[in-house]
Every structure is written in C-alpha cells, then in structure tokens.
C-alpha cells in the first residue's frame, strides 16, 4: 500500500517540475515578435523588383482607357485595385511619349496616344504604388502603421534610388517609356490631367 503512495507522490513531483520547466508561447505572440523585426526595406525591394516591374496587371494606358470606356465595371475589376469600397481604384499603367516640359519635378509628357499626362518625380508619397500593385494586403500586417510602412519603404526606393538615376539621362524633347500608378474614379468621364506616380522612366 505504501508503494502506491510513493508512486503517486513521485508522479505529482514530476508533473510539477515538468509544468514549470516547459512553456508555450502563443502563436500570435511569436508572429508579433517577428513583425517587430520585419525588414520593410527588403520587403519593399522584393515588391518593386520582383513584383511591380514584372507585374502582369500593368496595362498600356491607351488600352486601360479604352476598356474603361467600353465596360467600366469590368475594367475596374480586372485591372484596378482598391482596399475598400468607393468609386476610385488604383491601376498600374505603362505608355510612351515625349517630354515637353519639366517644372518642379513634374514631367509633362505628350503621350503618343493619350494626350498630355504628368509624371510626378519629386513628391512620391502616399499609397498609390503599393495599392496599384495589388501585391500587399492589409491583412498581412497587424497594424495600419506597419501596412503604411510598406508604402513608405516602396516610395523611398522609387524616389531616392530608381527615379534619380533615370531622369538624369533625359531632358525636354526626349522620347521616353514610362510606367507607374494612376488613380481613376468611376465618376470620371474624361481622362485629362492624369498624374502618374512613376515606377520607371526610360529613355527610348
């Protein structure tokens, strides 16, 4: 009978020691710890070079305008991206044209097929590139601040690394190819004064 109590006591002691020597972190805590050390610069590099520059969602501007005029809902669904509800969406476009003016970082382009468009090479802020790419989801991040940090890192790459190297090669009168993000509204009937947040400008 005494052996029985000895075994029970030994089991209790082992259980107590085991409980206090092993612990499990919540999965959410582990994920949060990883997010705190998240390398936004490396992530944005990947989004830009492996995503945006190779995106199959990028459409010729003239084709996008034609699609929107033909079937707005279908064009917005196929080529546009928006995070919530609303009449506006972001699109990744590409086109060609001639530089006819440069003023305060705004390049005025006589687009070969779409009239005059504007490329902002100086004030590359906001979420246009991130959202137009359709490659980043809010649900991938715990907070809006982290989500917006992706935009900041992406904009930094384009504004400080990509565009300066490319625009120093071009001047007024040059023909260029360009790509970038634009915002369109479903209430929009005319496609004038389009402002493009560039992802790339190249001398033709």
Percent of the residues in the chain that have a pLDDT greater than 90, as a whole number:
72
- What pLDDT does residue 21 have? 45
How far apart are the C-alpha atoms of 176 and 155, rounded to whole Å? 21
Backbone phi, psi, residue 2, to 5°: -65, -35
CB 183 within 8 A of CB 201: no
CA dihedral over 180, 136, 90, 148, signed as positive or negative: negative
- What pLDDT does residue 189 have? 83
- What pLDDT does residue 32 have? 55
Q: Which domains does the chain have, with CATH numbers?
A: 1-203 (2.40.50.420)
Percent of the residues in the chain that have a pLDDT greater than 70, as a whole number:
82
pLDDT in tens, the chain (204 residues): 556 665 666 555 555 544 444 444 454 554 554 556 889 999 999 999 999 999 988 999 999 999 999 999 999 999 999 877 789 999 999 999 999 999 999 999 999 999 999 999 999 999 999 999 999 998 889 899 999 999 999 999 999 999 999 999 999 999 999 999 999 999 988 899 899 999 999 999
Per-residue pLDDT tens over the stretch 128-138: 999 999 999 98
- For the entire predicted model, the pTM comes to 0.79
């Amino acid at each position: 009978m005494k052996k029985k109590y000895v075994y029970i006591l030994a089991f209790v002691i082992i259980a107590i020691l085991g409980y206090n020597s092993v612990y499990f972190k919540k999965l959410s805590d582990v994920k949060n710890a990883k997010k705190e050390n998240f390398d936004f610069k490396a992530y944005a590099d990947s989004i830009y070079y492996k995503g945006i520059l190779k995106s199959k969602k990028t459409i010729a501007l003239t084709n996008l305008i034609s699609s929107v005029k033909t079937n707005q809902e279908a064009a917005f669904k196929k080529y546009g991206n928006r995070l919530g509800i609303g009449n506006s969406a972001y699109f990744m476009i590409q086109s060609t044209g001639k530089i006819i003016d440069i003023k305060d970082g705004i390049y005025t382009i006589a687009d070969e097929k779409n009239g005059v468009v504007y490329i902002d090479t100086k004030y590359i802020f906001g979420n246009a590139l991130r959202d137009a790419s359709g490659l980043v989801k809010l649900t991938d991040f715990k907070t809006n601040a982290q989500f917006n940090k992706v935009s900041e890192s992406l904009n930094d790459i384009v504004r400080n690394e990509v565009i300066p190297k490319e625009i120093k090669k071009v001047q007024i009168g040059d023909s260029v190819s360009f790509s970038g993000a634009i915002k369109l509204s479903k209430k929009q009937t005319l496609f004038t004064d389009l402002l493009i947040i560039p992802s790339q400008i190249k001398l033709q």
